[in-house]
Amino acid sequence: MAENNKKREQFEKDTRQLFHKLHSAQADNDYIFNRLTSLLSTEYLQVEEDFFTGKICLDAGCGSNANATYALLQMGAEKVHAFDLNETIYEKAPKMLQEFDSQRYELTTGSVLDIPFADNTFDFIHCGGVLHHSADVLQGLRELARVTKPGGVLYIHTYGAGGLIREMTTFFREKYSQDDAFKKLIDNLNAQKLQLGILNIFDSMERNGDDLGRKIPTQMIEELVDDDLVLTIQDRIAAPAYHEHTEEQLRTCLEEEGFSDIERLTRYPYLKNIRRFLSPLYEEYDSEIAQLCYGSGLIQLKAIKND
C-alpha cells in the first residue's frame, strides 16, 4: 500500500512537472495562449450566450496557464475555482488571469481523484485533457459527478481509444521511457532544429537535381513546423500516461452517476502548423479515415446532472 502511494506520488509529480514546462511555454507565446483560450465558447458548448452569467464553475486540472479558467471568466462566469496537482500553478496562472477581478477566481491545489470541494457545489465543470493523465479515469469522473450540482453541466474531454496514430504515439511513449538517447532528442526538440532539418533535406534534393523542396517557401516551413507543434509532440510522447477509454465506457459511468442528456461535442481545431491537416479528422471523428487514424477520437462530452 505504502509502495503504491509512493508510486502514485511520483507519477503525479512527473506528470505535473512535464505539463508545467509545456504550459509555461504556451503561456509565453501569445499566439498559442490565444488559440487555447478560444477553444471554449458558448457556441462550441451549445449553450445560450449568457449561460455563464451567475454560474459557479470549476476548472479541474486547470494547468499552469489556466486557459479554460480564462475563457470561463471571459464568458461571464460569476466565479471560477481552478485546481491542479501542486503549487507550480501559482507561477504563471495568476499572471494569465490578471485582467480579471481577483474575487472572480480562486486557484488551489488538489487532485481530480479526490476533489477538494463539497458534493453538489458547481453549476458548470470543465475538465479538459486531464482524466487520461490521472491514475484512474473513472474515479476522476465519479468525483467530477459528485461535485456537480443537480441540474448542473459537466464538460469533459478525454483521450479516446484505438487508431493507428494512437498506436504510434504509444510506441514512442514507451521508447521515451526506456531509451535515454530518444528521451534526450524529444526533450531538446525545438522548432528551429526541425525547420533546419527540413531545409537541409531540400538542399540535398536540389544537389541531386530535384528542386521541388526549394519551391516550398521557407515561411511556409516556419508556419507548418512551429513551437506549438513541438509542444504537442512533447506532450504526446513525454506524458507519463495517456489512458484510453471508449465513448461507451465514459457514457456508462456518467449514467451510473445520475447524468442524462449526454452529448458528444466536436469542433474544428484552428491550427497554423502541420497538424492543420488533421483538423478535419478531429472534427469529423466518425469518418472512415478518422477512425482508422484515431479510433474513437477525442471524446468531448457534455452532460447534465439529474435533479
What does the binding site for ligand SAM look like in residue numbers (CB under 6 A)?
Answer: 15-16, 19, 61-63, 67-68, 84-85, 111-113, 128-130, 133-134
User: Cβ closer to ligand SAM: 133 or 305?
Assistant: 133
CB of 165 to ligand SAM, least distance (A): 17
Nearer to ligand SAM, 101 or 114 (CB): 114
Task: Count CA atoms closer than 13 A to 156's CA, side-chain side.
Answer: 30
d(CA 67, CA 107): 13
Q: Could you give the CA distance from residue 182 to residue 279 in angstroms, rounded to a whole number?
A: 28
240 vs 295, beta carbon nearer ligand SAM: 240
Give the nearest distance from C-beta 167 to ligand SAM in angstroms.
20
CB of 134 to ligand SAM, least distance (A): 4
Render 32-63 in DSSP notation, one character per residue.
Answer: HHHHHHTS--HHHHT--TTTTBT-EEEEET--
* Shortest distance in whole angstroms from residue 170 CB to ligand SAM: 16
Say which residues have a Cβ less than 8 Å from residue 118's Cβ, sequence separation at least 6: 147
In sign, the C-alpha dihedral spanning 44, 46, 52, 53 is: positive
Residue nearest ligand SAM by beta-carbon distance = 63
- State which residue, 113 or 161, has the beta carbon closest to ligand SAM: 113
Nearest residue (CB) to ligand SAM, 142 versus 199: 142
127, 279 Cβ separation under 8 angstroms: no
We find the least distance from the C-beta atom of residue 184 to ligand SAM, in angstroms, to be 23
Gap between the Cα atoms of 74 and 68, Å rounded: 10
